[in-house]
A = this chain, B = another copy of it.
């Protein structure tokens, strides 16, 4: 290996390690850390982020990248080395634009806004949150100003989460979706579906065992995975052999079961990145959208499907005989797929979910471009909720204050939830072509073909390619809303039954 490449690789390995170590600190804080340690922990995470930023903007990294330009041009662009140079070049190029003081201030603002948002949400008091939001937006604008001016400033934010994706492209796809979803929701919301039995007493221990059972089936290996309770579920880990998913057990619902399948999808992505690149910045997810395509695939295309429940429903009934002994599979399946416009994105069904995301995506662009007064956000939010979903927002805790993202300065993030959902259907259909007996396998409780297909076509390459190229290599085309819309119509067009 040429010396400059070895040096860049060594520096890249350190950058990746610092990110992984930060993940562990965050995971620990959100699962098992003694709560009094929070302030100290925030300082440690900030130190690691600063070290990572410093390692990335080192002038020597820029020099090595310059020196490596001829090598990069001579390498097969698909090679691990070419991809590493490409990815570090991208990250370095973006990071050197941003003054460390701004990075530090954004981190500080996010840390200080977190308790303010919690308090504002708990008391449904938007005015309390407004100054923190104003500061977050102001800092995002200063961040945008670090880069060359472009027509749509929001693209700069979006690029951090969904590389090389333009908001114009997203808007086009979302318009296509919106045109179909709005009438579909209007039609489906009147359909009578009994899901009353999904709200019942569900004891903790059988819930834990059930979650364990489903991820064991999917392909969890205890020597490389953990599952722990937390407040707001997430997937994390420090490497391909240390995957940590989390869940929240509710005493009166099965929400944990579906969210565990969701986090399993995220975890499997990280687990199946190719070992040769796992310790490098190429060994990350391609984008948040691709990440979400994995979680939504396991949660919805597997976890809310007929074949899966034909296999798994007797197991659920065995764990909760009182709750489900008298409910047949058709009724259960209809209930878990009930379409019902609601206030909260993270609890939305497959059909209404998209409108929650579109609302935020549109609002974020209005915010960044100054088309909406921040103090006016609750009114605008509530109006659009009524327009898009036909629901009346009773208070801001259930409205504009429901998501944590803006408090953390995460503006530009939301669209990836729906982009991922759309891509999950493209991946699923392509997988169905390559694995013709997919449904039969799921119905037998066999998931290895799904894991292997996703591993080979999506996970292995990590972040070697940007998301649309990752998708194109897996399914032959870039993002396309039609399979997603066709899937929804197929599944929900007729009354739902297993």
Cα distance, A368 to B51, chains bound together (Å): 38
Question: What is the copy number of this chain in the assembly?
Answer: 2
Cα distance, A21 to B239, chains bound together (Å): 17
Whether B226 contacts A40 by the Cβ 8 Å rule is no
Q: Which of A82-90, A138-146, A217-225 contacts B (4 or more CB under 8 A)?
A: A217-225
Q: A34-B223, A47-B14 are in contact. Are A241 and B21 (CB under 8 A)?
A: no
> Which residues of B have CB within 8 Å of A18?
47
Chain B nearest CB, measured from A162 CB (Å) = 28
Q: Which of A24-32, A57-65, A67-75, A317-325 contacts B (4 or more CB under 8 A)?
A: A24-32
Chain B residue nearest to A48 in the complex (CB): B21
Whether A224 contacts B36 by the Cβ 8 Å rule is yes
Q: A28-B24, A225-B34 are in contact. Are A47 and B17 (CB under 8 A)?
A: yes
Chain B residue nearest to A32 in the complex (CB): B226
- Chain A 224-252, CB within 8 Å of chain B: the 1/0 string? 11100000000000111111100000000
Cα distance, A225 to B244, chains bound together (Å): 22
> Which residues of B have CB within 8 Å of A222?
34
> Which residues of B have CB within 8 Å of A279?
40, 43
Chain B nearest CB, measured from A384 CB (Å) = 41
Cα distance, A241 to B20, chains bound together (Å): 23
Interface membership of A39, Cβ < 8 A: yes
Interface membership of A149, Cβ < 8 A: no
Whether B39 contacts A241 by the Cβ 8 Å rule is yes
> Which residues of B have CB within 8 Å of A44?
17, 20-21, 238
Interface membership of A37, Cβ < 8 A: yes
Interface membership of A498, Cβ < 8 A: no
Chain B nearest CB, measured from A118 CB (Å) = 17
| Sample (15) of A-B pairs whose CB atoms are under 8 Å apart | A14-B47, A20-B40, A20-B44, A21-B21, A21-B44, A28-B28, A32-B226, A34-B225, A34-B244, A36-B221, A36-B241, A37-B239, A37-B241, A37-B242, A41-B242
The 8 closest A-B pairs by CB, nearest first: A37-B242, A40-B239, A36-B241, A36-B224, A17-B47, A36-B223, A37-B241, A34-B224
